Chains A and B, each alone.
Chain A
Amino acid sequence: MANRIILHIDMDAFFASVEQAVNPGYKGRPLLVGSRGRKFHTVVAACSYEAKAFGIHSGMSTKAALRLCPWADFVPADSAKYVYTSDRIEEMLRDYSDRMERASIDEFYLDLSSCLIHQAVRIAKEIKARIKERFFITASAGLAPVKIIAKIAAKASKPDGLLLLEEKEVLGFLENLPVGKIPGIGAHLKEQLNNISVFTCGQLRRIDPQALLSRFNKTGLWMAQVSRGEDCAEVGYWQEEASSPKSISHSHTMEKEILHRQELEAWIRMLSEMVASRLRKEKLESRISSLYLRGREAVFSREKNFQFPTADPARIYERNLWILKSFQLKIISVRALGVCASGLTPAQELYLFPVDRKRGRLLAAVDKINQLQGEWAIYPAAIGRVKN
């Protein structure tokens, strides 16, 4: 941990800030960015700080958010703007270090270990100023000897802040930090910790790591490390090729419950197409299919390992239908569903039968058309009813 300086840059209310920059009329006003276009039938993907002041947060239904602040403005999310802005910020950050990692669309790590502390602080200030000048949005920065502490520091300094935690200050900072503030400790884990009278990182640190290991397995050891301000995770190099994914999934939450099997099957086909398209883009095939359904009262989730890997959407769809049948649903009432492909292996274009070769050529042609004309320029008629 000695001599490392990690900078974490975290954009403040990213989607909402970009929307406020795009439309200055929203500046200084409570703004909700909905994950979909229908104001009263979606969830809050992001909200401005003015909306947060009313207790609104991401993930809340827009109905609930508008009850808290009926005069809040609403815009549907338009990821093209956010991805474009994130890409440009990433390009900007490459000026500062070879070791730069994009942790998510609005979070970046830089390893500034080759700098002195005052130089790292100057770089953090400069990055914040450049982001503000070019994109009219603010970012918070955390500087610390390890990645996770830098992330916690950036969160603690929000909005538009900068927090430097030198090695000698880390334990003091963590002492009274609620365990729920550690990224990776969700509501369930927090409750389990609270049940054993652990509320702060300081209390967590005083527990024997072996006791945490036996109670929480690997997560226990990780929590023990974080509570001591230790984390050996390195910041990656931005030139590195992104590592191959372990699974590829797509999910969707409905505006209205699906009550008919035909419609449900069309949605499964749609998500299977999306998963298969990404598998082919990554030149991968999948052996394991998983299907997840959430209804009014119950959640169904199952995965099945098949003998042959595939990236054919029709096959993935058939496999998911097979899983759907195994749920033995008597009544269809689905609010959300997801399709996941795992057990990924590099794609092999070895076709045993001519019909498979033909199918492979057809999928390659479909991919080419969509690549030239834009996503979903061509799609199977079976998903027409949900696509439109």
Chain B
Amino acid sequence: MFNLQARWDRPFPGDSSSNSEAVEVTARFFKGKISPLYFILKESRFNIARINYSWTERKGKGLIYYFSVSDKNDNYCLFLDAEAMSWRLLT
């Protein structure tokens, strides 16, 4: 019903032109749910205190899982490209 053409004027995160960087994420995969626990960026560990929101987006045949998360100080947006099996952080 809706065809918002979400990405026609913006690159997908993770494509070369967009602002994101690879991060190491430890996540729990349980009963079909993915819960990131902490991520390591530039040798610093960020413990995830709360998952604020999560959503998915289709990219061709693949699916991208987004997580808006908070540690003690700040909010971050992590995403998992299920096709490439890689985690990245939107910057």
Q: How far is it, in angstroms, between the C-alpha of A23 and the C-alpha of B67 when the chains are bound?
A: 11
A327 at the interface (CB under 8 A from B): no
Is there contact, CB below 8 Å, between B53 and A22? Answer: yes
Contact check, B7 vs A374: say whether CB atoms are below 8 A apart. Answer: yes
Residues in A neighbouring B59, C-beta threshold 8 A:
373-374
Chain B interface: which of A78-86, A147-155, A351-359?
A78-86
The answer to whether A374 and B75 touch across the interface, beta carbons within 8 angstroms, is no
Q: List B residues 38-70 near A (Cβ within 8 Å).
A: 52-53, 55-62, 66, 68, 70
Smallest CB separation, B74 vs chain A (Å): 9
Q: Most chain-B CB neighbours within 10 Å: which of A18, A81, A136?
A: A81
CA gap between A37 and B70 in the complex, in Å: 24
Contact among B3, B58, B60, B75 with A24 in the assembled complex (CB-CB below 8 Å)? B75
Residue of A22, A82, A371, A375 near B68 (CB, 8 A) is A22
Judge whether B52 and A370 touch: CB under 8 Å. Answer: no
A235 to B10, CA, bound (A): 36
Which of chain B's residues have a CB closer than 8 A to the CB of A86? 2
The interface size of chain A toward B, counting residues with CB under 8 Å, comes to 34
Contacts A105-B2, A370-B60, A373-B60; is A21 near B8 (CB within 8 Å)?
A: no
Interface residues of B in 1-31 (CB under 8 A from A): 1-10, 12
Query: What is the number of contacts between chain A and chain B, taking CB atoms within 8 Å?
Result: 69
Q: Give the contact-size bracket for chain B.
A: 20 to 34
A270 closest partner in B (C-beta):
B8
Select one of A25, A84, A105 contacting B55, CB under 8 A.
Answer: A84
Give Cα A25 to B56, complex, Å: 22
**Known A371-B61, A374-B12: A21·B53 in contact at CB below 8 Å:** yes
Q: Could you jot down 25 A-B contacts, CB within 8 Å?
A: A18-B53, A22-B77, A23-B68, A23-B75, A24-B70, A78-B6, A80-B6, A81-B66, A83-B4, A85-B55, A86-B2, A135-B53, A136-B52, A242-B1, A250-B5, A274-B8, A371-B61, A372-B61, A373-B60, A374-B12, A374-B58, A374-B59, A375-B7, A375-B8, A376-B7
Q: Which 7 A-B pairs have the closest CB atoms?
A: A374-B60, A80-B57, A84-B55, A79-B4, A79-B6, A374-B59, A373-B60
